[in-house]
Structure 1
Amino acid sequence: MTAERTGQTVQFARPGSNTETIENNVHQLLSKPLTPDTAVQIALQNNRALQASLAELGIAESDLVQAGRMRNPGFSFGRMRGGDELEIERGIMFDIVGLLTIPIRRDIEGRRFEQARLQAASQAVRLVAETRKAYFNAVAAQQTAQYMEQVGMAAEASAELAKRMAKVGNWSKLDQAREQAFHADATAQIARAKHNAIAAREQLARLMGVWGAGTAFQLPDRLPDLPKEVGAINDIEAQAMRQRLDIQMAKYDTEATASALGLTKATGFINVLHAGYANKSTTDAPRENGYEIELELPIFDWGGAKTARAEAVYMQSLHRTADIAVRARSEVRESYSAYRTSYDLAKHYRDEVVPLRKRISDEMLLRYNGMLASVFELLADARDQINSVNAAIEAQRDFWVADTDLQSAVNGTGGASTPMRGQASSQTAAQAH
């Protein structure tokens, strides 16, 4: 199920069997620069929370096997002595109701096992989406930190030049203070960018389940390039209705509840019915053989409250399934809008904003070489260009995150799409001016 939706397979770490193989695979993948796919492979093999979810399948399978077995018979033995007489009673009892309801109980546990399988696949698909988003955030944060260091170098050079020119009287104290203020702001932004890079990297490490030497993994210097184009996805809501794991889980839960309701109605009037062989031995008398039936008398409890509770649980499950379907349709529409919008924005920055800033910078350099622009104008333009590049990095990151959210909304368990970002870059550009 995970491979159909993500292209990656889940590997269950069984005790004492393939643990060493998994560790070797993870070590080999970490020895090379990470890609989104290799990060996902490590997470699917090494994430402990996922392995714990997979272990739930063993529990559900045990319940399924147990439901197909008849309950053990009960044996009774009684011995009474009165004077010279000795009386012994023996009996063996079988659960008749349990025997008759084995097919129903197996059907219920079979649905619960299938639900556990869906739950494990859902967690695996969710882990894939979270790992991919953490990867793109980590690479973008690292790339942003590198650019912010360039901003800091430009601010430091501008502040130092302003300080020297102020000493010789060629620069006002107001202009010098502005350059120093920008240098101070840039220093604070560099610190934030470095911390954000560390935080994003640690989030990726947690999802991959690595520690110690494994945290020294290598990330690429830049985000993957945008695809050449993105096409429209037809019948995306219908596709989500077919493939969403949370919808399938809700359906199985409703079916299991309906079966349980039938079992509750069947056993609501007579819940205990035992029958079996019995014999009795008495001193100086032949052994007496016969049978014994044990039946619960519905005098105080006719099962009405239990049946009403089962019906209420069924209606609750039915409404919950409908609610999940409505939410899924809304989430997939929202995710698709974010996907297309983030692609258009990232392409706009790549094809329009960044090249335009570069042309402006080239023209400013020509004016500076012709003594038509000051060095401060040149430095200010360089800061604007770097801010535009940072905004382009954010837009490119938002596209890959939106792409992951869309896949999760169609194939996994959904979730709100990432809102459009980039405000920080706008604020930085405003501060630069």
Structure 2
Amino acid sequence: MRPRVFPFSPAIAIAIATALLAGCTTFSKDGGFGTVSTAASERLGKDAVLIKTDEDRRTAASRTQELLSTPLSMDDAVQIALLNNRGLQASYSELGIAEADLVQAGRLPNPGFSFSRTHGGDDLSISRTFTLGVLRVLTMPLTTRIESRRFEQTRLLTADAMLKVAADARRAYINAVAAGQSAVYAEQVKDSAEASAELASRMQQAGNFSKLDYAREQAFYAETMAQVARARQQLVSAREKLTRAMGLWGSQAQYKLPARLPDLPATRPELHDLEAFAMQNRLDIQAAKLQTQSVAGALGLSKATRFINALDVGYQNNFTTSDGREQGYEISVEIPVFDWGSAKVARAEAIYMQSVNRLAGTAIDARSEVRESYSAYVSGYDLAKHYRDEVVPVRKTISDELLLRYNGMLASVFELLADSREQIGAVNSAIDALKDYWLAQTDLQQALGGRLPVAAIATPLAFTTQAASSTESEGQ
């Protein structure tokens, strides 16, 4: 007897053909890393590297060693962090996970096959069944679109994580260099205080110095010793934070830093419409939008499948000794008697509203961060400029005039030393002001999505804290 043909309906045949076309999703060549690489190049001017092989590790190590051969600049520290930060490399694995989910969503479900052989008396029964989950086939195009949005969201979030690592490296670099600068100045102050205490001791022994004045000099020297110890510890802590941010260890941790922070830019450009710029430029906001779209798509899928949770089509080929060969098909449908899918739809709607509110919260927080960081950026620049142009030059003028008076025997050495002590606060405040400006600029860049608008490019102008600190040695 001729076997009968399995009578698929045209609708099912069209759905399977569509799913077959949609099921051609394959792994991309870059694994989604192109978004991260482009963001690093366009927003930081740096190279982001995905390390997967020994050759990649050797290349990164060689470039790292080349950057470590000279005193690090801020840009060098950022680039080293992008090459070596292990936490960043771990976040890149999220790309592979998301892409694997996308590829899996675009593949047809595996068919099922069952076989049974029974006999009783003279009867022999053989049953063969081939099944396919049709519901998953029918919903596969929508599922693929949802996973595609999630993959794009993961790419944006991974690129945003890269920008955050770069910002953390910048902050750690600024703090480390400022700590080194403060430690050097603390040593200079300690040397001056030591000379002052030694002179006071000799004059007190000669009977030319009161016990009160002598105690004051000794107290100042003791305080400077404590300040030096504190500055040294702060330097160690700041360097270790920078070392962790750059992902260095062993001999690589013996890198050299410059003696002082970069100079203050000559001008501070006026920046406008920063909130709108941030809304368009920030990757976390773009990712939140995709998250909301993805959840909306999942809500549609939940509503589409609320009544039918399982739909299987099977082809049967049976044989019995009494009836001979039998062929046909079976359809298995889950009947919504107790569960009509309302809980599943309600859950999807709640997740959607959660995503909408999170998106709105992210946008509100971003706008606030932009306003706050821009205010700190403006005030930080003005304060650092004030110390550069007003406070430090005036302190230097006072020291120069007092030195002339001392050379003309119109001022004593203790007046010089007292003036040196008064300079300490001004110089330390100048260092802190310059550090705060660079930190504020980093915060503003991060709030805007990793970069400032093009108009925010300025050229450096020399900062004069070095000249101020040099007067400390002139007064000794």
Query: Is the structural similarity TM-score above 0.5?
Result: yes
CA distance in 2, matches of 1:161, 1:378: 13
1:419 is aligned to none
| 2:52 paired residue among 10, 14, 23 | 14
TM-score by length of structure 2 reads 0.85
Q: Secondary structure at the match of 2:326?
A: strand
Match of 2:301 among 259, 263, 270: 263
SS in 1 for 2:316: strand
Q: Report the residue type matching 1:345 in the other structure.
A: L
Residue 438 of structure 2 aligns to which amino acid in structure 1? W
Matches of residues 24-423 of structure 1 in structure 2 within 5 Å?
24-412=62-450
Distance 1:286 1:149 in 2: 102
SS class of match (1:398): helix
User: RMSD of aligned C-alpha atoms?
Assistant: 1.4
Letter in structure 2 aligned against 1:335: S
How many Å separate the matches in 1 of 2:41 and 2:439?
20
The Cα shift of 1:270 comes to 0.4
TM-score (norm 1): 0.93
For 2:265, the aligned partner's letter is P
User: What is the CA distance between 1:4 and its match in structure 2?
Assistant: 2.2
Measure how far apart 1:384 and its partner are.
2.0
Structure 1 residue identity aligned to 2:42: E
Aligned letter for 2:419? D
**1:237 and 1:332 in contact (8 A); partners too:** yes
In 2: Cα distance, 1:184 partner to 1:134 partner: 30
- CA distance, structure 1, for counterparts of residue 305 and residue 222 of structure 2: 76
| Separation (CA, whole Å) in 2 of partners of 1:90 and 1:190 | 86
Q: Percent identity?
A: 59
Q: Indicate the SS of the match to 2:107.
A: coil
SS in structure 2 opposite 1:411? coil
Partner amino acid, structure 2, of 1:243: N
Cα displacement (A) at 1:284: 4.3
C-alpha contact 1:53 1:120 (8 A) present in aligned 2:
yes
Q: How many residues align?
A: 414
Q: CA deviation at 1:279?
A: 1.5
Contact 1:244 1:413 in 2 (8 A): no
Alignment check: 8 A CA contact 1:245 1:413 kept: no
Contact 2:203–2:209 (CA<8 Å) still a contact in 1?
Answer: yes
Q: Aligned equivalents of 1:16 and 1:298: distance in 2?
A: 55
Query: Once the 2 structures are TM-superposed, how far is the Cα of residue 412 of structure 1 from its aligned partner?
Result: 4.5
Matched residue type, 2:223: D
CA separation of 1:257/1:412 partners in 2, compared to 1, >3 Å: closer, same or farther?
farther
Deviation for aligned residue 1:413: 11
State whether residues 246 and 413 of structure 1, in contact with CA within 8 Å, keep that contact through their aligned partners in structure 2: no
1:223–1:397 contact (8 Å) kept in structure 2 = yes
Q: Deviations over 1:367-405 (max 9, x none)?
A: 222222221111011122243222111111111111111
Cα distance per residue 1:296-335 (max 9 Å; x no partner): 1111111111110110110011011111111111110111
Q: Which amino acid aligns with 1:27?
A: Q
* Unaligned runs of at least 5 residues, structure 1: 415-433
Distance 1:81 1:177 in 2: 112
- SS of residue in 1 equivalent to 2:54: coil
C-alpha distance in 1, partners of 2:54/2:125? 56
Contact 2:44 2:451 (C-alpha < 8 Å) held by counterparts: no
Kindly state the Cα deviation for residue 178 of structure 1 after the two structures are TM-superposed.
Answer: 1.2
Gaps of 5+ in 2: 1-38, 453-476
- Residue in structure 2 matched with residue 427 of structure 1 by the alignment: none
| Deviation for aligned residue 1:67 | 0.5
1:361/1:381 contact within 8 Å kept? yes
Give per-residue Cα distances to partners, 1:228-285, cap 9 Å, x unaligned. 1011112100000001111111111111110011111111110100002111100143
Q: Give the letter for the 1:390 counterpart.
A: N
| Cα displacement string for residues 332-372 of structure 1 (whole angstroms, at most 9, x for unaligned residues) | 01111111111111111111111110100011112222222
Alpha-carbon distance between aligned partners in 1 of 2:364 and 2:270, rounded to the nearest angstrom: 22
- Secondary structure of the equivalent of 1:371? coil
Cα 1:58–1:22 shift into 2, 3 Å: same
Task: Name the amino acid aligned to 2:158.
Answer: A
Cross-structure match for 1:425: none
The residue aligned with 1:418 is none
Deviation of 1:17 (Å): 3.9
